[in-house]
Each structure stands twice: as C-alpha cells, then as structure tokens.
Structure 1
C-alpha cells in the first residue's frame, strides 16, 4: 500500500514471499503447478514414471504427483546425494525417475553423484531444479544463478529452460521419452501462460522464432522469453520492430535456427535468467565464433556476483531483468 511520509505520498512497496514468490505480473494468466500436473497425467499412461524429492516436494510441485500416485513417490529427506543415487538405481531397473530439489542443491551439492551415477552411464533420470536464477528473493544460498554454467560441461546431460506453463506441460513427456539424463530449470506454483498466443509448440532440442521483427532480434530462454515478448510489445511504441527467438533447450543447442536469425544487420541481444558467465550468452557467442560469423551480441542477464535478497520485482529491476530495464537498454543501444 502507499504511505505518507513528511507530507509526501510514496510509491507502494513491492513485496513477494521470498521462498514461493511468483514472477507472474498482477492479473496475468497463469496455470497452477503445471509440472506436477503434467507428471501426474503422464504417470497415468506410463507405469515406469516415479517421483522423488529431497524434502521439497511442496516447493517443487512434486506434491501434486505424490498425491496422485503415492505408491510411486519416494521422499528421501534432506539428502540430495542420496536422492540422485536412488534415482540412478531406479533408472537401472527400467523406471523413469523425476527427482526434484532446488537447483542450487543439485548443481552445487550433488554434482559428482549426478555426473558419475547418472550422466556417465547415460541413464534416463530427469533432474528437476526449483528456484533457478532469480526466481526467489532469498539470497545466494537459494539463487541458482550459475547452475547452467555448472551443468553445461557435463557430458550426456540435456538442459531445458522453459518459459511458461506451455513449455513445462509439453516438455515433461518429451523428457521422459528422452534416452539420457535431463536437467529441467523448474518454474513452480502459479506459472504464467504466455506462449499459447504465438502458435508455439515445445520440441526438445529446438529453438523457435515466436515473433518476427526487422530492427532487433532477441534470443532468450526461460522466463526471459516472457520478458522479451513484453519488451518487444513496448518497443513497438517507439517504432522499434523486435523479433524473439525462444531457445528452451540450452544443451544441445539449436545453432542452426539461432544463427540464421543472428546473421543479419539487426541489433542482437541475448536474455537469460542466469549469470552472463557460462549460460545462453556464451553459448550463442561460441556458436558464432565456430561458424565464423563476426558480429556483436548484447548480453542481458545476471551479473557475475552474489545477488541481494529482497522482493522479486525490486530485484528484477535492480539486475536488469524487468521489461522496463530491457526496453531502456535496447533504446540506449539504438541511439
């Protein structure tokens, strides 16, 4: 609510629950727990599907699956290494595990178990990481701002960074059908529904041009595709025509689609909910160099730093992930 101080009315304070905050805008169309619902629905037709969690089923939407299929859900407690070791054993017997925890615990705490128990034997284990990037107001202990950078170097691992509920609902069965291990940057709770308005379908390993444009091209992943589309609409009022390329699969990366869009005179910008070190920006940059394409790419992403705690709207403004910050940055580049 607005407050009055020394006779002046101040702007309302922005608040979000730090742990279960939603990045959805007020009044935006959302879907509740799309990952958990999609997994529970898939399990109705595929008896191999099992779910595991490390004491965080409520905060990774795995509780939806647990309620629907209690005999196929396994709670291992606060033991992330055990979580992925157990999932590997289940996969060895022919089951298809989805193992959920926070991204920070999967990437930082259990890396060796994932690498040697799951990735090296190329098992069908689906790692579900909650609170990726700046999707929580908690500080560095829970903000997985470097998870993609950590996991990109792991052989055999497919990495998916979904934009919205459409991506999540369509990705779950494709992840289950994929032969090797996957890492999903989970969006949980009330997740925005955005891509249904753009004749879009998720295809594992493929990037999609969801909006054409003549002046600027955005290459984005995760929730930043939502922000890219919002910024593109706002920039149209400035007579700036923006294309948006959504790249939900970060590894393997769809170089052909992305580079075809970047090999033009348009201003090129990457947008990611991740540090600019080791994520989408550097994936795009290395692809350009390998193909012998010389051009500048402007990175919009999180800094190479430990981030502050606070309300998500405030933090997104502070670190340049908000629609207003993106619009301002593009206009500066075009001046």
Structure 2
C-alpha cells in the first residue's frame, strides 16, 4: 500500500488561519467575522494585514450570521469563525433562514469540532454538526483531514459560489497530505489501493484509517483507503467503484453515527449497490472531558477500532 509520512503535527485550525492569510493577500472580496475567538481561529495575521476587512461581533453568533448574509449582497465573501458548536447548534435558525434558504455566499468556518476538543467537555464537543448542516438544501459540507488540506479547502471555498460549512479541529494531528494539493470540492481522494475492504474516512479519522490499513496489511488484508473531505456533495462514484471491487466497507468519522458520513454512505449503498458496512463513529451519545487521545480510544474512534470494524465487515462479506 502507499505509505504516508507525518510531516510534523499541526492543528487544522492553523491550516484555516494560513488559508485566510493567503486569501487576505489575494482576494479583496474576502472579509472575516469572528465571535470573540480570534486566537482560537488563528486569524491574527489576516486581521493585522486587513483590519478594514475584519468584524469582531463579540459573543453574538446569531448576529454574526445575519451580518454575513447582508455582506454578500454587497458582493463580499464573508467567512464567519467560531467554535463548531456555536457555528451550528446555537445559530441554526439564522443559518437556515438567512443563509441557506436564500443561497447566500457565506462560508461558515467552524473550529474545535468533535470530541478531540478534549478537556472542554460535552457542552462544547458538538457531534451533530455535520448532520445539521448537510440537511440544509444547497449547503456544501467539508471536513478536511490535516493542516495542508484545511488550508487548501479554505482557498477553494472562496472560489465556490454558495453557502459552505467548513469544519476543522483543535488538536495537533498528523500533517501528511501534499502542501501543493489541488482541493476539488466534491471529489474524494483515494489514498491507497486495496482489494479486500474499503475504508472511507473523514477529518481526523483519515490518518487513523491509514494506520489501520498498515496494520491490516501485516495480517494479509488489503484495504483501500478513501478520504472523503466533502461530505456534501458526496462523491458517490468513488464509493461505489471501490465497494464494487472490495465487497464491503467501513466508514470512520469523529461525529455521531446518526446523521454523519456513515449514513450518507449507507444511503448510497442501499440505493445503488447494497454491501456490508460497519460504522466507526460516536454511538448516539454526548462526549465528556478528557484528553483527545483518551476520548478517541474510549469512544472507539482510533485505528484499533477501525481494525475491529474491518474484521466485522469481512466476516459479513464471507
């Protein structure tokens, strides 16, 4: 299988910050709004270089969404920024009514997503945001896997016309994708070829999927690993082509199993090519306080959990 090297751990939120810095220098239509979390979103450089294109709204996230929707009418491309819980759950009505319903060109950028937020605990560890956002008509949902891909995604969404939900995280994780990658919205990335099982992962679980695939290879199991960075629109062709070859699939995500990537894949398979599927995801529960590593292990979101799911899928295929 193809081997990937960790180029040095970095947080995906810093990938967003790096993307915003570049956009600040290259796209005068890009403006940024923040709900009192500038340091957490890593947008200090954008603000320092473009103070006239930054709006600090304070802890008033609903107002931030309304302002962003209004800015699009003047031809601007607003990027809202706060924690994922406040970017979605707290302001769902405003997003639905003011942004999605009217197709406003707002980029909703959400840091500290999922259980790897860690010690802040269940109230901040939103695990339902992908489901909330993918159900909104016309909303594009993106969940990149590392620093480089988050930076590339940030640049790509500025060129995309229409509302986007861009999700990323807090902890430093493996940075293994190319720095010069071209990010294609809606296009899956096949990271390794395999014949026995398809592993479809998103976000922080992509690196865990690669580690699982390496361990499986030592046991004679050939796993095809696919990075689904765009959950909506979903690259159904990539999924179906792979599963037609391998005959079974494991999906892996840092999200509730209800409403996430796994359900989107299950719908695709049920409609076009039924096949055994196992889901690695949080099983209908809230999170809790702990280190990211402790929580990923406890909630079954690491490479060991993916390996276990692969054996279950293979048994069902047989």
Normalised TM-score (structure 1):
0.87
2: CA distance, partners of 1:31 / 1:276: 26
Structure 1, unpaired ranges of 5+ = 1-26
1:333 is displaced (CA, Å) by 4.8
Q: 1:312 to 1:98 in 2, by over 3 A?
A: same
**What residue in structure 1 maps to residue 3 of structure 2?**
none
1:265 is displaced (CA, Å) by 4.2
Q: How does 1:214-253 map to 2 (within 5 A)?
A: 214-253=195-234
Give the alignment partner of residue 127 of structure 2, picking from 135, 145, 150: 145
Moved more, 66-75 or 281-290: 66-75
Does 1:161 pair with 2:143?
yes
Does 1:65 pair with 2:57?
no
- What is the total number of aligned residue pairs between the two structures? 307
Which structure has the larger Rg over C-alpha atoms? 1
Q: State whether residues 107 and 163 of structure 2, in contact with CA within 8 Å, keep that contact through their aligned partners in structure 1.
A: yes
Q: State whether residues 60 and 188 of structure 1, in contact with CA within 8 Å, keep that contact through their aligned partners in structure 2.
A: no
1:147 is displaced (CA, Å) by 0.4
Q: State whether residues 158 and 183 of structure 1, in contact with CA within 8 Å, keep that contact through their aligned partners in structure 2.
A: yes
1:200 is displaced (CA, Å) by 5.8
**What residue in structure 1 maps to residue 285 of structure 2?**
305
1:329 is displaced (CA, Å) by 3.6
Q: 1:297 to 1:200 in 2, by over 3 A?
A: farther
**What residue in structure 2 maps to residue 315 of structure 1?**
295
1:334 is displaced (CA, Å) by 4.2
2: CA distance, partners of 1:111 / 1:179: 21
Q: Deviations over 1:88-109 (max 9, x none)?
A: 1111111111100111112111
Q: State whether residues 31 and 53 of structure 2, in contact with CA within 8 Å, keep that contact through their aligned partners in structure 1.
A: yes
Give the alignment partner of residue 211 of structure 1, picking from 192, 195, 198: 192
2: CA distance, partners of 1:186 / 1:333: 29
2: CA distance, partners of 1:114 / 1:167: 25
**What residue in structure 2 maps to residue 330 of structure 1?**
310
SS at 1:309's partner residue? coil
Q: 1:191 to 1:86 in 2, by over 3 A?
A: farther
Q: How does 1:155-194 map to 2 (within 5 A)?
A: 155-188=137-170, 190-194=172-176
1:276 is displaced (CA, Å) by 0.7
Q: Deviations over 1:90-142 (max 9, x none)?
A: 11111111100111112111011111111112111100111111121122210
Q: 1:71 to 1:190 in 2, by over 3 A?
A: farther
1:309 is displaced (CA, Å) by 1.3
1:212 is displaced (CA, Å) by 0.5
Does 1:281 pair with 2:262?
yes
Q: Deviations over 1:35-71 (max 9, x none)?
A: 1111111221111011110011111222332233222
1: CA distance, partners of 2:200 / 2:181: 16
Q: 1:189 to 1:331 in 2, by over 3 A?
A: closer
Structure 2, unpaired ranges of 5+ = 1-5
Q: 1:188 to 1:313 in 2, by over 3 A?
A: closer
